[in-house]
Amino acid sequence: MGPLGRTRAWLLDIDGTLVFTDHLYRQVFEKLLSPLGYDVTDTFYAANVHGKVDADVFGKLLPEGTSQEELLAWSKKKDDTFCDLYREECARTGPPLLNGLGEALGIAQQTGVRCIAVTNAQRGAGEAAIASLRELIPAASIIEGLVIGAECEQAKPHPAPYFEGMRQLGVVPDDCIVFEDSRCATGEERAASACPHPMCPHAHRPARPLQVGYSCWDCCGRAGRGRPALDADGRRAAQVRLLAHLA
C-alpha cells in the first residue's frame, strides 16, 4: 500500500457523504408508502429503506404480484419526487452539503486527484445533487462522472460500481480512496482490494483498522443499532476531519 499522498482518485458516495438527504428521502417514502398503509417510522425507514436499492425496497413492500414494469414505475416516481423536493430545498436554502466540502474538493483539484461519484441513488437524483454542487462550488467541476449502482452488474454493497468508477477514470484499486457514509461494501471491497487505505478519522490516529468503505459517520457518529449519535452538524464536522486528514 502506497502513502496517501500518492492517491490518484477519490470515489465519492453522494447521499450522506457529499449532501445530506435522509430527511428528503424520508419525506419521499412517507408520500409513497403511507397511502399503502405503511407507518414510515424511524425504525421502519432504517429496516426497509435506508441504504437499499429501489428494486429491493419496492420488491418487498409493494403487493405480491407487482410486475417489473410497475416496480420500475414506482422507482421513477420516487426519483421524480426526490428531485422535486431537492430542488425546492436548494432554491430555499442551498444544497444541504457538508461543511468543508468545497475546501476538500479544492485540495483534490490542486493536487491532481480525480473524482467520480458512485451512488445507489437513481440517475435523476444523482445528477441533481452533482449539478447543485457544481453551481455552488467551483472545485466540484473535478467530479468527472456519475456511476449508478442499479446500472452496473450489481449495486452497492457489491464492489462492481466502484470498479466501474475506476474503469472510467483509468485507475486501479491502489490509486483510490472511497468515501462512504455507511459500512456499505466493506466486506466485498476488502476481499477485492478495492479500498486499500485503512483509516479512522476519529481524532488523528486509527482507533481500529478500517477500510475506507467505513466513514466517520460510522466510527464517530453512530451508536447502537445504526442510529445517529451526532446531529447533522456533528456528522458534517466529522466528515470534514476525514476529508482533510486524507487529503
Q: Give the mean pLDDT of 82-88.
A: 98
Q: Give the pLDDT confidence of 121-154 residue by residue, as tens digits.
A: 999 999 999 999 999 999 999 999 999 999 999 9
Is there a cis peptide before residue 63, judged by omega within 30 degrees of 0?
no
pLDDT at 105: 93
Q: What is the spatial distance between Cα 190 and Cα 209, in angstroms, rounded to a whole number?
A: 12
The H or E element spanning position 172 is none
Q: Give the pLDDT confidence of 47-74 residue by residue, as tens digits.
A: 999 888 899 999 999 999 999 999 999 9
More confident: 237 or 162: 162
Q: What is the spatial distance between Cα 16 and Cα 232, in angstroms, rounded to a whole number?
A: 10
pLDDT at 210: 27
pLDDT at 183: 57
Predicted confidence (pLDDT) at residue 160 exceeds the cutoff of 80:
yes
Query: What phi, psi does 11 have (nearest 5°)?
Result: -105, 110
Predicted confidence (pLDDT) at residue 89 exceeds the cutoff of 80:
yes
Cα of 3 vs its chain's centroid, Å: 25
Predicted confidence (pLDDT) at residue 184 exceeds the cutoff of 90:
no
More confident: 20 or 219: 20
pLDDT at 135: 96
Q: Give the mean pLDDT of 218-242.
A: 38
User: Quick one: what percent of the chain has pLDDT higher than 90?
Assistant: 60
pLDDT at 182: 66
Query: What phi, psi does 147 have (nearest 5°)?
Result: -105, 125
C-beta neighbour count of 119 within 10 angstroms:
24
Q: Give the pLDDT confidence of 202-213 residue by residue, as tens digits.
A: 222 223 322 343
Predicted confidence (pLDDT) at residue 201 exceeds the cutoff of 60:
no
Predicted confidence (pLDDT) at residue 39 exceeds the cutoff of 50:
yes
Q: What is the spatial distance between Cα 203 and Cα 238, in angstroms, rounded to a whole number?
A: 9
Q: Pull the grid cell for residue 30.
A: 412517507
Average pLDDT, the chain: 78
C-beta neighbour count of 218 within 10 angstroms:
19
Q: Give the pLDDT confidence of 98-117 residue by residue, as tens digits.
A: 888 999 999 999 999 999 99
Q: Pull the grid cell for residue 177.
A: 480512496
Predicted confidence (pLDDT) at residue 156 exceeds the cutoff of 50:
yes
pLDDT at 86: 98
Report yes or no: 171 and 189 within 8 Å, Cβ to Cβ.
Answer: no
Predicted confidence (pLDDT) at residue 2 exceeds the cutoff of 70:
no
Among 129-133, 195-199, 217-221, where is mean pLDDT lowest?
Answer: 217-221
Q: Pull the grid cell for residue 180.
A: 462512504
Could you tell me the pTM of the whole model? 0.76
